[in-house]
């Protein structure tokens, strides 16, 4: 546009502008054509229907679930809460106990690695000690170790110390496995805090502990929240660690273990499977929807940098 302006000393004619805008409009139209919208709609429906089917199934009476598909609900609507009541409180393995275990596992397994990683990230970012950079790279490299590689000997250690079959094993395992990524992510965002802030505090006589607690932790809140959402989803949804360390008992095992067993049982428990799965899904969905902002931020920080 500016080229045209200087050339003939007048604003471009309306026809030129119109041609330009219509061309760009045409380009945009190419992407938002009815076919494109249809494709998007098809993907969205394919992605939503399986979950919707489960949701609907969880409220259908036992007889209906076993004998007909959930789509027949619209021809023959019947709703009940009995499935939920039975799977949550009925039988000798009520899901409500596993639900409590999931919560008891998740809280420390999220809080412990966050506290340890924030401290370590501060140590790597703002203090000097020999081999600091080498050790940091080593921790970064540990991210690529699949946790399967550590499970068997770790189980031996836990059995040796008599901790096996308690919450302790699951807490320690989850905390350890989360550390490399947590330290890396938190270190990255801690480095972005201006050095002047730290210097100013030092001049005022603040030691590392005070700088850490009064400057770093408050400024790091968004990054910590991002990682917390990640770690929450990871721990709540985990099956492998829980299976190996928590066993299948009512005492320690979380929801996922019970559900996987329920799904593996031969025969007809479809009417329990649907509400059971939905109970397990609903908590992460709520956390996810309410903290989506942080989750996406963490996702982008982690994927683009790591």
Partner 1 sequence: MTLLDKLLQLLVAVVVFAAVMGVVLLVADRARGRRTDLVSGIAFTAPAFLLLLVGLLYPAARTAVQSFLDARSAGFVGLANYVQIFTQPDLVVVLRNTLLWVVITPILATAIGLVYAVLVDRTRFEAFAKALIFLPMAISFVGAAIIWKFVYEYRPNQQNIQQIGLLNQFLVWLGFEPVNFILAEPWNNLLLIVVMIWIQAGFAMTVLSAAIKAIPSDIIEAARLDGVGGMRLFFYITLPSIRPAVVVVITAISIAVLKVFDIVRTMTGGQFDTSVVANEFYVQSFRLSNLGMGSALAMILFVLVVPIVIYNVRQMRKVDGR
Name which of residues 155 to 174 contact partner 1 (CB under 8 A). 157, 166-168, 171-173
Q: Which of 190, 220, 224, 273 binds partner 1 (CB under 8 A)?
A: 273
The reply on whether position 183 binds partner 1 by CB under 8 A is: yes
The reply on whether position 50 binds partner 1 by CB under 8 A is: yes
CA angle 147, 103, 119 (to 5 degrees): 60
Q: Which of 146, 162, 194, 205 binds partner 1 (CB under 8 A)?
A: 146
Which one, of 119, 295, 305, lies nearest residue 222 by Cα?
Answer: 295
Rounded CA-CA distance 164/260 in Å is 21
CB of 171 vs partner 1, minimal distance in Å: 6
The reply on whether position 151 binds partner 1 by CB under 8 A is: yes
Here the tokens at position 91 are 């039988």
The reply on whether position 81 binds partner 1 by CB under 8 A is: no
The reply on whether position 40 binds partner 1 by CB under 8 A is: yes
CB of 305 vs partner 1, minimal distance in Å: 9
The reply on whether position 150 binds partner 1 by CB under 8 A is: yes
**Number of residues engaging partner 1 in binding (CB under 8 A):** 116
Q: Which of 11, 13, 18, 67 binds partner 1 (CB under 8 A)?
A: 67
The reply on whether position 226 binds partner 1 by CB under 8 A is: no
The reply on whether position 57 binds partner 1 by CB under 8 A is: yes
Cβ neighbours around 124 below 10 Å, total: 21
CB of 9 vs partner 1, minimal distance in Å: 22
Which one, of 73, 89, 80, 120, lies nearest residue 220 by Cα?
Answer: 120
Cβ neighbours around 269 below 10 Å, total: 16
Calculate the alpha carbon distances from 300 to 171, 216, 232, 256, 261 in Å. 27, 22, 17, 27, 35
Half-sphere exposure of 151 (CA within 13 A, CB side): 13
The reply on whether position 53 binds partner 1 by CB under 8 A is: yes
The reply on whether position 225 binds partner 1 by CB under 8 A is: no
Per-residue binder mask for partner 1 (CB under 8 A), 194-223, x = binder? -------------xxxx-x-----------
CB neighbour burial string for 43-60, b if at least 16 within 10 angstroms, e if fewer: eeeeeeeeeeebbbbbbb
122 neighbors 212 (Cβ within 8 angstroms): yes
CB of 194 vs partner 1, minimal distance in Å: 19
């Amino acid at each position: 546009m500016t080229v045209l302006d200087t050339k003939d000393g007048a604003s471009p004619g309306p026809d030129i502008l119109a041609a330009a805008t219509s061309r760009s409009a045409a380009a945009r139209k190419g992407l938002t054509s009815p076919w494109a919208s249809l494709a998007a709609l098809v993907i969205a429906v394919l992605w939503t229907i399986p979950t919707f089917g489960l949701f609907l199934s969880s409220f259908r009476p036992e007889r209906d679930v076993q004998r007909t598909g959930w789509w027949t609900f619209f021809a023959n609507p019947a709703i009940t809460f009995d499935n939920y009541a039975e799977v949550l409180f009925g039988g000798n393995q009520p899901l409500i106990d596993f639900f409590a275990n999931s919560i008891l596992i998740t809280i420390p397994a999220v809080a412990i690695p966050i506290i340890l990683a924030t401290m370590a990230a501060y140590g790597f970012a703002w203090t000097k000690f020999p081999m600091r950079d080498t050790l940091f790279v080593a921790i970064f490299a540990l991210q690529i170790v699949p946790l399967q590689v550590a499970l068997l000997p770790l189980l031996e250690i836990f059995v040796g110390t008599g901790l096996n079959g308690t919450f302790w094993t699951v807490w320690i395992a989850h905390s350890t496995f989360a550390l490399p990524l947590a330290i890396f992510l938190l270190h990255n965002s801690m480095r972005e805090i201006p050095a002047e802030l730290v210097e100013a505090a030092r001049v005022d006589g603040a030691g590392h502990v005070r700088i850490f607690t009064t400057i770093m932790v408050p400024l790091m809140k968004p990054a910590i929240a991002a990682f917390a959402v990640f770690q929450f989803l990871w721990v709540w949804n985990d099956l492998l660690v829980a299976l190996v360390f928590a066993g299948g008992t009512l005492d320690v095992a979380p929801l996922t273990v019970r559900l996987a067993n329920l799904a593996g049982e031969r025969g007809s428990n479809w009417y329990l499977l649907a509400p059971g799965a939905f109970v397990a899904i609903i908590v992460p969905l709520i956390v996810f929807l309410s903290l989506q902002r942080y989750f996406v931020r963490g996702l982008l920080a982690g994927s683009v940098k790591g």
